[in-house]
Structure 1
Amino acid sequence: SPLIGWSLRITYAVIVLATLASVAKTMTAYVILRDHPIKGEETGPKITVDQQAEDESKIEEESTAQISKGQQFTEEQMLQLLMIPSGNNAARLLARWDAKTEAEFVKKMNDAAKDLGMTDTTYTDPSGLKSTTVSTPKDQLKLAKAVMQNDVFRDIVNTTITTIPGIDRQIRNNNDKALLLEGVGGIKTGSSTPAGGNLLWSANALVDGQIRRIVGITMGAQKAAILNDKLELAIDYSIKVIQAAQAGVTSTTVVKKGDVVGHVDDGLGGRTAVVATKDLKAVGWAGLKVEIAINDGGKVLPHSASAGDIVGQVSIGSGTGKVSAPVALQQDLAEPGFGAKITRLG
């Protein structure tokens, strides 16, 4: 069944702009997979570990991947080292591999954010270590919906524990408490003194026989004494919201077959009603508002047509959750004047 994204914005404080910490690695992965796409069983090209990445693996105050100069890992394995143990040195190595310098890669991150409509986000490093890398929950959900379309990425962030040849020990996901729950996926944890505990997450719910993906985020969990406990607090908050979201998601018919949804205006005061040709359902939670739009569906409106002829389409929702249906004339359309157009009621 197709996975259709509906976003749920979760905050536990008034957050306008917040430090991302390692949640920033989600954009690093997005840019890497955009520039070097892999899917299915593909593993991608091999990446050679340089001296800088080895030296940075020994920085005790950072989250790192234990890699050594000269080792080679596939793109998929490097993404695992980026997203599962949250290796800061893996993020920087991937940045240099993709764009030659970290600064050039950061520009790519910001350009990608702009393309996704993330208007309140600034990336200043590929790992999220810098407190100047900031975003909002709304922006991060835009990224989550986009990156979770990639099956390789989904498999990686849904992993609780794994092994990689050349790495001495198992690598474990900091989000394994949530991942072990039914229908819960990644996406990325993040924690730092300024950020507190953050978790960008995904979960599945079954609605009308289809699996629907929910994405959400908890940012700025601070009410704990030590940093690790702040991250655990963000995970615990998220679990409660995930379970409520899974239980509460439902569907409702927003537009019924035969409903008058708009009209054709002939420019001279004449109007001919158009109707939906099938039911349209929206998926979400009680109180959710959905966008309804109507257009000509890319077709030129005819000068005359019979009742029942298709003249456009009506849509509800947006992005991956958008659903559409053709609209047809309710009665015969007489010869219109210049400037005929189709418009939605209201």
Structure 2
Amino acid sequence: MKAFAAAALGLVLSAQAALAAEPVYPPASRIGIVPPADMMVSKRFSGFESEEKAAAINFVEMPAAAYAQLVNGLTKDALKRQGLSETSREALKLGAKTGVLIGGTMAGPVQGRKWVMAVKDEDLTALVIAQVRGGQDGYSEAQMREALKSIALRGPVPIEEQISALPFRFGDKAGFRPVRVMAGNSVLFTDGPQDTIKAVEQPMVIMAAAVNVPVPPAERRSQFAHAALNSNQILKDVKIERSESFRFKGQDWHEIVAKAVEAESGQPIVVMQTIRFEPDRYVRLVGLTRVEQRDQNLPRFRTMIDGVDMNP
């Protein structure tokens, strides 16, 4: 009987260990991992974080075709410009998946360790960015690498389920349809048959939220908004037409309308950026349209963000 009880207990414990090793997927994410101990699903982005250990693992889903361009861009110089001093680079073969895992130290005012991993299968490229701020406390190199290499990719998640997991909800979509959700906190909309949009042949709207982050004080919000717009790499030759702060629905807003050029194609476009600030978060809309469609689409962009509510 004792032998039977011991065997039964062993089966239970081994089953629990097997369950614990199952990958965890953030809501609506196709990317999952076995996270390090005490790291929880983030409410701010698609991935995991531990505030106590100042650590985070962030997921970004991309098309499979994006893998080669992504990896080719992960050069030492490019990573250094983004604040990562590379110390290791490893080619990965994880079952049917291939990838690369780069490790290094964080450069700049925030010190710590950082990892960038790109993995692809037949229909998905996963970009995973992990960091542990501070010194050698928190998670070890081995713990982080083990978690990253546990990556699992699952099949497509319905777009409606992805949108329901965002930190905000929509009222009037102004006739735009969702194309894809990105990083668990942003979504791309368009109006037209194409999902891959070249030269802004269809109007585009990107809605994104930043939750539980420092919000700039009122006197710095205009500067913040201009910096956010100028950081958009798909735009060049930006010429501001209008920039204003205002109060609406009891909240502080900032809006910019500008002419610009779509960087890849050289197509002249009009961009509208509207940011709605709350005490510990903000939501940002960037709408792009061809010049000849501005009068039709700029009011639609405002209708969209006017109808957005942040989830509690």
Query: TM-score, structure 2 length as denominator?
Result: 0.30
Q: Which one has a larger percent helix, Structure 1 or Structure 2?
A: 1
Rg larger in 1 or in 2? Answer: 1
Q: Which one has a larger percent strand, Structure 1 or Structure 2?
A: 2
Choose between structure 1 and 2 for higher RCO, CA contacts under 8 A separated by at least 6 residues: 1
Query: TM-score, structure 1 length as denominator?
Result: 0.27
